[in-house]
Amino acid sequence: MRKQTLGWLVFLGLMGLLVGCGGGGGGGGDHAVVGAVVDDDTNAPVPGAAVVIGSAQAVTNANGEFRFDGMADGLFNLSVTKTGYVDYLATIQVTAEPVTTLATIRLVPTGGGGGDGPPPPPWSS
């Protein structure tokens, strides 16, 4: 009886570990996440942007597109960063569908270029 109880405890413990590993880190599933990153001012693709979903990382291609394979379904933190742009942060839902397509991500330039920028303060001369 004691060996049988110990066997069930080990079995239940292993099952708990398997169930507890489903999600949170970005990998471990069979879903894909795809999306694109564009410049908010020009609508041009943003190549070379770092995209992070959970603990998975990718870089946008020449067309500003990215793809993550092997994702679990669930909620994940998403960040997109590129020098010269304001960091983009969001929470996304990876669905149970084979592919989750995100809405186009629009990165806002930091204003270091020749854009209009904000107006000068009224007290400046």
d(CA 11, CA 96): 28
DSSP codes, 67-111 = EEEEEPSEEEEEEEE-TTB--EEEEEEE-SSSEEEPPPEEEPB-S
Q: Is 43 left (phi over 0), alpha (psi -120 to 50) or beta?
A: left
pLDDT for 114: 45
pLDDT for 27: 59
Per-residue model confidence as pLDDT tens for the chain (125 residues) = 555 544 444 444 433 333 333 334 455 789 999 999 999 999 999 999 999 999 999 999 999 999 999 999 999 999 999 999 999 999 999 999 999 999 999 999 997 554 454 545 555 44
The CATH H-level superfamily of 28-107 is Immunoglobulins (2.60.40.10)
Cβ contacts of residue 102 below 8 Å, gap of 6+? 33, 34, 35, 78, 92
To which H or E segment does residue 51 belong? strand 50-53
How distant is the alpha carbon of residue 114 from its chain centre?
30
